[in-house]
Chains A and B, each alone.
Chain A
Amino acid sequence: MLKLPVYLDNNATTPCDPRVVEAMIPYFTENFGNAASRNHPFGWAAEEAVDYAREQVAKLIGADPKEIIFTSGATEGDNLAIKGVYEMYASKGNHIITATTEHKAVLDTCKHIEKLGGEVTYLQVKRDGLIDLAELEAAIKPTTILISIMYGNNEIGVVQPVREISAIAKRHGVLFFTDGVQAVGKIPVDVIKDGIDLMAFTAHKMYGPKGIGALYVRRKNPRVKVTAQMDGGGHERGMRSGTLNVPGIVGFGKAAELARLEMDQDAKRLSGLRDKLESELLKLEEAYVNGNREHRLPHVTNISFKHVEGEGLLMGFNKNIALSSGSACTSASLEPSYVLKALGLGDDLAHSSLRFGLGRFTTEEQIDYTIEQVSKTVLKLREMSPLWEMYKEGIDLNSIEWAAH
């Protein structure tokens, strides 16, 4: 049975798994205590639940529970990691290296660091979205304190060579932070094997609730510290004050446990469906996958349909299929996706892209329906696209002097 509407925007957020919700409910009503209340059973119950969830979360990434700092989400984790390292290691240097395809939570934090007087190098990515390791190494200076490169990209799903990056960082005595939001819970992430010093991630991208995330901060080889960005009661080993969101943390823990146990089967099933979707849509003329197809998250594909505009395309089926586009029109900025532009795509192809993010609850019927709807709409819109007509007539679109507006 086909279930509508189809949700294929799992990179934006995922639904809560019912098993997660079930685990959370007692912590709103019966066990509502403050985990910092040390002298009564309400506090004990809350603290115990938090400790258990901290273990579940740590286990997912191969960390020690003491290395998990709960935050409100990955934006806070990104801020805490970058600003916190910048302040804590100020005596060592003020230079940070990142890449142009990072999430805004990283890029805008880096811009803030520049305003504070820090120096930031923004690495360009290659055509396939991967960074150039030689360029990374060449960008390191005596003042470099942090390399911040995301694990998996939110728009194109490309997975960076994290182990090679961390090896370079280690060789030069530089800390390595990764935004793990899209990767954790979807592919095996192991902070020891991957050589990660700090990592931000969040529950709502792995079937947990919104408003709860974590920052992994390494405690051994080396012992990493960040300066708190939120002052107060000294929670989370002094790195993040604020009463713990106990129900959220319990849900995060359950989501992490489910992700760890079901990751292999989910990834296998979803990459199969993703590949089907992709190969069927690539049967359309002038359709291209954006980003590296080998080093990629299993549930993501980003495709440009030349000479069709992304938002116009979405409108053909967005009552029944939830997707996102790199087109400017879907955002308030009127600029097309900066990630796709960083790959060297022309604005026209960036405007023509759709991002498909499959998830645990995506069914094969839904993928078949999506293939049919997207294909049909692309063909229909090409029939009314002047660019498609010109392309078919063999006119070089670059030879036309477009009136910039």
Chain B
Amino acid sequence: MAYSDKVIDHYQNPKNVGTLDKASKSVGTGLVGAPECGDVMRLQIEVDDETGVIRDAKFKTFGCGSAIASSSLATEWLKGKTVDQALAIDNMAIVEELNLPPVKIHCSVLAEDAIKAAINDYRVKNGMEQIKFEESIVH
């Protein structure tokens, strides 16, 4: 299967690979996927407590090129958005942007799940309630 140029570009030059201090109150961490399934994504956001704007985002991903590209793209999109805006990021937007084939849609779902998990982690740390999300597509 051939990859789209955008997937290849993110794979070769991933944006925002790294680790934020997960102990910090302003950092939310989402760890999704499982080694058995062949993909694990860890996505972190650092939120400005005053404005609710995501100042920084980092990821590390174990997975195929599409999984790496999906998480790399997600971190790019997260930076500068408010937490509420970030919640609106839909996996199909990632699919469209990266031109993912049907068998790779689960990579984008995983990235959306990682965003939500990171936001919930941030909310819990800051005394807010977890947001209950509907089950994402089974993959």
A348-B64 contact in complex given A315-B3, A389-B19, C-beta closer than 8 Å: no
Closest beta carbon of chain A to B124's beta carbon, Å: 16
Is B35 in contact with A348, judged by CB distance below 8 angstroms?
A: yes
Binds B, one of A83-91, A250-258, A379-387: A379-387
Complex-state Cα separation, A173 to B90, whole angstroms: 64
Complex-state Cα separation, A307 to B110, whole angstroms: 18
Q: A403 an interface residue at 8 Å Cβ cutoff?
A: yes
Give which listed residue, B42, B62, B113, B138, contacts A309 with CB less than 8 A. B62
Closest beta carbon of chain B to A221's beta carbon, Å: 49
Is B41 in contact with A386, judged by CB distance below 8 angstroms?
A: yes
Is A397 in contact with B35, judged by CB distance below 8 angstroms?
A: yes
Give which listed residue, B11, B31, B35, contacts A347 with CB less than 8 A. B35
Is B33 in contact with A311, judged by CB distance below 8 angstroms?
A: no
CB 8 Å contact bits of A335-369 with B (1 = contact, 0 = none): 01000000000111001000000000000000000
Is A315 in contact with B60, judged by CB distance below 8 angstroms?
A: no
Give the residues from 125 to 139 in chain B that come closer than 8 angstroms, CB to CB, to chain A: 138-139
Is A386 in contact with B36, judged by CB distance below 8 angstroms?
A: no
Give every chain B residue within 8 A of A400 (Cβ-Cβ).
31
Give the residues from 289 to 345 in chain A that come closer than 8 angstroms, CB to CB, to chain B: 307-312, 315-316, 327-329, 332, 334, 336
A386-B61 contact in complex given A312-B68, A315-B3, C-beta closer than 8 Å: yes
Give every chain A residue within 8 A of B34 (Cβ-Cβ).
402-405
Interface size on A, residues (CB 8 A): 31
Q: B63 an interface residue at 8 Å Cβ cutoff?
A: yes
Give every chain B residue within 8 A of A404 (Cβ-Cβ).
34, 36-37
Closest beta carbon of chain B to A86's beta carbon, Å: 36
CB 8 Å contact bits of B27-64 with A (1 = contact, 0 = none): 00001111111111110000000000000000111111
Is A309 in contact with B33, judged by CB distance below 8 angstroms?
A: no
CB 8 Å contact bits of B60-76 with A (1 = contact, 0 = none): 11111101100000000
Is A403 in contact with B19, judged by CB distance below 8 angstroms?
A: no
Q: B23 an interface residue at 8 Å Cβ cutoff?
A: no
Complex-state Cα separation, A118 to B55, whole angstroms: 65
Complex-state Cα separation, A402 to B110, whole angstroms: 13
Complex-state Cα separation, A385 to B62, whole angstroms: 5
Q: Is the interface of B mostly helix, strand, loop or mixed?
A: mixed
Give every chain A residue within 8 A of B40 (Cβ-Cβ).
386-387, 402
Closest beta carbon of chain B to A286's beta carbon, Å: 13
Give every chain A residue within 8 A of B11 (Cβ-Cβ).
312, 315-316
Closest beta carbon of chain B to A391's beta carbon, Å: 11
Is B37 in contact with A308, judged by CB distance below 8 angstroms?
A: no
Q: B103 an interface residue at 8 Å Cβ cutoff?
A: yes
Is A308 in contact with B62, judged by CB distance below 8 angstroms?
A: yes
- CB nearest neighbor in B for A335: B38
Is B68 in contact with A384, judged by CB distance below 8 angstroms?
A: yes
Is B38 in contact with A329, judged by CB distance below 8 angstroms?
A: yes
Give every chain B residue within 8 A of A308 (Cβ-Cβ).
62
Is B60 in contact with A405, judged by CB distance below 8 angstroms?
A: no
Give every chain A residue within 8 A of B113 (Cβ-Cβ).
405
A residues bordering B, Cβ < 8 Å? 307-312, 315-316, 327-329, 332, 334, 336, 346-348, 351, 383-389, 397, 400, 402-405
Give the top 3 A-B pairs by smallest Cβ distance, nearest first.
Answer: A402-B34, A348-B35, A347-B36
A–B complex contacts, Cβ < 8 Å, 19 sampled: A309-B62, A309-B63, A311-B38, A312-B62, A312-B67, A336-B38, A351-B36, A385-B60, A386-B31, A386-B41, A388-B62, A400-B31, A402-B40, A405-B32, A405-B34, A405-B37, A405-B113, A405-B138, A405-B139
Inter-chain pairs besides A387-B35, A402-B40, 19 sampled, C-beta below 8 Å = A311-B65, A312-B11, A312-B65, A315-B65, A327-B38, A329-B64, A334-B103, A336-B38, A346-B36, A347-B35, A347-B38, A348-B35, A384-B17, A385-B61, A386-B61, A402-B34, A405-B32, A405-B33, A405-B37
